[in-house]
């Protein structure tokens, strides 16, 4: 799938080195051809927790039946 700027995406895999888990939501802030994406992950309070360059396969589009949850961020990662 081709993503565009400001799309909300779902992480497909854990990234423990960044404190992120599969299912975390991010926003596309830059698109790099052919398949790179700069994704910003923010806390519920709006603070940027990670800004990462990932491949399109690392994320998926948000689906109509996705449920949003809140979890505590493990900052020791």
Tens digit of each residue's pLDDT (9 = 90 or more) over 10-58: 999 999 999 999 999 999 999 999 999 999 999 999 999 999 999 999 9
Q: In terms of Cα–Cα distance, which of 5, 6, 39, 2 is closest to 24?
A: 39
Which DSSP symbol is given to 57? Answer: G
Q: Name the class of domain 8-61.
A: mainly beta
| pTM: predicted TM-score of the whole model, two decimal places | 0.91
For the chain, domain boundaries: 8-61
For residue 51, what are the contacts with CB-CB under 8 A and spacing of at least 6? 29, 38, 39, 40, 41
């Amino acid at each position: 799938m081709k993503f565009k700027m400001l799309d909300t995406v779902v992480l497909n895999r854990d990234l423990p080195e960044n404190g992120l888990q599969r299912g975390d939501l991010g926003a596309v802030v830059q698109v790099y051809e052919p398949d790179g994406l700069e994704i910003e992950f923010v806390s519920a309070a709006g603070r940027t927790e990670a800004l990462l360059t990932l491949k399109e396969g690392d994320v998926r589009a948000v689906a109509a039946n996705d449920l949003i949850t809140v979890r505590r961020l493990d900052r020791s990662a």
